[in-house]
Amino acid sequence: MHAGHVMAGLGGASGGDGGVDAAGHGGEYAEAAGGVISHNPSRVDGTSDRAESVEERMGKSGGEQGDGEHTDRAHADGGGEAAAGVTRRRALWIGGGSVVAAGAAAFAARDELARWWWRLPGNDKPRAAGEVDFRGARWVAASPANYRRADRPADYPIDRVVIHVVQGSFATALRVFQDPDHEAAAHYVVRKDGYLAQTIRELDVAFHSGNRGYNERSIGIEHEGFVDRPESFTTAMYASSARLTAAICRRYGFPADREHIVGHVEVPGTDHTDPGPHWDWDSYLRLVRAELRRTARATEGPPERNA
């Protein structure tokens, strides 16, 4: 079992595209080899499911048409006007179903195109250099080898925060995240004094958890320190990290609970143990929820006074 996120991969990459080591810190190669979730955008966003439903409906329409032909033959044999009426109703139903199916297929195609048009050459989604998603964070760009460009949450809905511990210093985390041979990185790094760096835009899929599905749906936050040293986790670090996590919960609309805020150790398929036994989950979640309440009150403003 690897304790933290960074130190286990400092020896260099042992895999291909995105594979750091046996731990699989989050690289694409390691995730694909594990077979956790296939990287199929249409499967992720549901368009394949919609297309299958259309095909099923069209198949059913074909079956009904066969029944109608049988009814026509019955009518020719003396089945009467009632059979003809049923046939006409079936024909109308078939025609209407075909229109609905064609419309659904067109909608799915348009939805897919809207998600992926900017990936075509010359259509890159606009991104300002050095722009951060959390006010006060310092931008320190990770190597492009350590993440995958995306258009989240349009292509991959975000509903998780994954908590990591570096097993090293703040500076160490930034250094290895800038190293293309490391092939892993988290979106943010938090220092002991609460100082924050953002290394990957939240739009993009960071290779941080060792599970492709979790990478696509989550934001990864690294914390300076060591899992076996309780002094690593300072009050300033908890407070700063909680403000960041609350902002992420608010931005993407998911609750601040242990289903949606998890440790690296809880990611399926990982062999990491961070954030470890000294991470105070109860205090951390209280801080996140308190921050959410505070920002909600600030948004609502003061109560109106009676005239």
Strands (E), the chain: 138-139, 147-148, 160-163, 188-190, 196-198, 205-206, 218-223, 261-263
**Domain layout of the chain by residue ranges:** 7-38+130-300, 42-118
Helix H, strand E, coil C: the string for 104-126 is HHHHHHHHHHHHHHHHCCCCCCC
Q: What is the pLDDT of residue 113?
A: 62
Q: How far is the C-alpha of 295 from the C-alpha of 303, rounded, in Å?
A: 15
Q: Which residues contact 140 (CB under 8 A, 6 or more apart)?
A: 174, 177, 178, 189, 197, 198, 199
Q: Longest Cα pair distance anywhere in the chain, in angstroms?
A: 91
Q: Alpha helices, DSSP H only, in 178-227?
A: 212-217
Which CATH code fits 7-38+130-300? Answer: 3.40.80.10
3-class DSSP state of 6: coil
- φ, ψ dihedrals at 196, nearest 5°: -120, 140
pLDDT tens track of the chain, all 307 residues? Answer: 677 766 555 433 333 333 333 333 445 444 433 332 222 222 223 323 223 333 333 343 344 333 333 333 333 344 444 445 545 555 545 555 555 555 656 655 665 665 565 556 555 667 888 999 999 999 999 999 999 999 999 899 999 999 999 999 999 999 999 999 999 999 999 999 999 999 999 999 999 999 999 999 999 999 999 999 999 999 999 999 999 999 999 999 999 999 999 999 999 999 999 999 999 999 999 999 999 999 888 766 554 444 3
Q: Which residues contact 267 (CB under 8 A, 6 or more apart)?
A: 162, 209, 210, 211, 214
3-class DSSP state of 160: strand
Q: Which residues contact 188 (CB under 8 A, 6 or more apart)?
A: 134, 137, 196, 197, 198, 199, 219, 220, 221, 222, 244
Q: What is the pLDDT of residue 102?
A: 58
Q: How far is the C-alpha of 239 from the C-alpha of 191, rounded, in Å?
A: 11
DSSP 3: -
Assigned token pair, 297: 């009150």
Q: How far is the C-alpha of 211 from the C-alpha of 287, rounded, in Å?
A: 28
**Kind of pairing between the strands at 218-223 and 160-163:** parallel
Q: How far is the C-alpha of 258 from the C-alpha of 183, rounded, in Å?
A: 28
Q: How far is the C-alpha of 156 from the C-alpha of 164, rounded, in Å?
A: 21
Q: What is the pLDDT of residue 295?
A: 87
Q: How far is the C-alpha of 240 from the C-alpha of 242, rounded, in Å?
A: 5
Q: What is the pLDDT of residue 185?
A: 98
Q: What CA–CA distances, in Å, run from 152 to 102, 126, 158, 191, 205? A: 28, 14, 7, 26, 8
Q: What is the pLDDT of residue 249?
A: 98
Q: Cα dihedral sign for 65, 71, 76, 82?
A: negative
